[in-house]
Amino acid sequence: MIISNYMKNEHRECDSLFAKAEEAIAANNWEEANTQFLAFANETLKHFKSEEEELFPAFEKATGMANGPTQVMRYEHEQVRGLIGNMAEAIEKEDRDAALSLCESLMILLQQHNMKEEQMLYAMCDRQLPTQLKETTLEAIKKVTL
């Protein structure tokens, strides 16, 4: 379960940063909101990049499923990227109502997305990728930078 364990942990780290950003927005603490949201956005985008560049291609190659789960995950990544951009704008304008509303949309989208990855994609990667490929993929994931 090395893929599941590592990637789930990244999800939890992103969740934690997101919660801190949301808390700061609710408190009208814009400097802190900006710092925490930037950290969340960077971690999330790095996580997406590692999936799109390393994990998904490994899965697609091993299973032959190029237009299955990974296609949907890539589409959802784009949706999240769009919301992250909108949230950054709302935080920059210090628009509390807009930022909190976007927080809610983003949280719902991420929860559903993460559930699909954790219950389906990561589990399938752990079962279907050969051990050595899992290890090399994980090493490559750890090296990804924004």
Partner 1 sequence: MSLHKIMLDTRDLEHPIPLEKAIKALHTLEDNNYLYMLHRKNPIPLLDLAKEHQFQVLSQEDNTQIWHILIAKDKHINLNDLLDV
Binding site for partner 1 (CB under 8 A): 63, 65, 68-69, 72, 75, 112, 115-116, 119-120, 123-124, 127-128
* Shortest reach from residue 51's CB to partner 1, in Å: 16
Nearer to partner 1, 16 or 119 (CB): 119
Q: Is 129 left (phi over 0), alpha (psi -120 to 50) or beta?
A: beta
* Shortest reach from residue 110's CB to partner 1, in Å: 14
> Using an 8 Å Cβ cutoff, are 120 and 2 in contact?
no
| Rg of the Cα atoms in the chain | 16
Nearer to partner 1, 12 or 127 (CB): 127
**Per-position DSSP letters for 32-87, written without gaps between them:** HHHHHHHHHHHHHHHHHHHIIIIIHHHHHHHH--SSSHHHHHHHHHHHHHHHHHHH
* Shortest reach from residue 82's CB to partner 1, in Å: 16
Nearer to partner 1, 26 or 115 (CB): 115
* Shortest reach from residue 123's CB to partner 1, in Å: 4
Nearer to partner 1, 26 or 75 (CB): 75
**What's the token pair of residue 23?**
């808390």
